[in-house]
Amino acid sequence: MTHYPKTIAAACIASLGLTVSAFAQETTLRLHTLVQDPHPYNDMAAFMAEEIAERTDGEIEIQLFNAAQLGDDPSVIGEMGLGTIDLMISSTNNATRQVPEYQIFSIPYMFGGLDDLMARVGPGTPAEAYFRDVYADRGLDMQLLALGGSGTRNMSNRIGPVESLADIEGMQMRTPPSPMISETWAELGTLPVSVAWGELYGAIQTGVADGLESSIAGYSGSRLYEVAPYLAMTGHTIQVNHISMSDRAWNRLSDEQKAMFLEVAAEASAYGIEQARMYETDLVDTLQSENGVTVTYPDITEFQDRLTDLQASLVTDMELEPAQDALFADN
CB 191 within 8 A of CB 172: yes
Q: Which residues contact 224 (CB under 8 A, 6 or more apart)?
A: 156, 200, 201, 204, 212, 214, 218
Using DSSP's 3-state secondary structure scheme, residue 103 falls into helix
| 265 falls within a domain | yes
| 270 falls within a domain | yes
- Count the domains in the chain: 1
> Within a 10 A sphere around the Cβ of 326, how many other Cβ atoms?
21
| 1 falls within a domain | no
Residue 285, domain CATH: 3.40.190.170
CB 315 within 8 A of CB 324: yes
| 210 falls within a domain | yes
Shortest CA distance to 156 belongs to which of 200, 198, 69, 214? 214
> Within a 10 A sphere around the Cβ of 234, how many other Cβ atoms?
22
CB 100 within 8 A of CB 140: no
**Euclidean distance between the first and final Cα of the chain, in Å?**
33
Shortest CA distance to 257 belongs to which of 118, 141, 143? 143
Q: What is the pLDDT along the chain (331 residues), one digit of tens a residue?
A: 444 444 444 444 444 443 333 334 469 999 999 999 989 999 999 999 999 999 999 999 999 999 999 999 999 999 999 999 999 999 999 999 999 999 999 899 999 999 999 999 999 999 999 999 999 999 999 999 999 999 999 999 999 999 999 999 999 999 987 888 899 999 999 999 999 888 999 999 999 999 999 999 889 989 999 999 999 999 999 999 999 999 999 999 999 999 999 999 999 999 999 999 999 989 999 999 999 999 999 999 999 999 998 888 989 999 999 999 999 998 6
What's the gap between Cα 34 and its chain centre?
9
Strands (E), 37-93: 60-65, 87-91
As a whole number of angstroms, the distance between CA 142 and CA 95 comes to 12
Structural domain containing residue 206: 6-327
Q: What are phi and psi of 320, to 5 degrees?
A: -105, 15
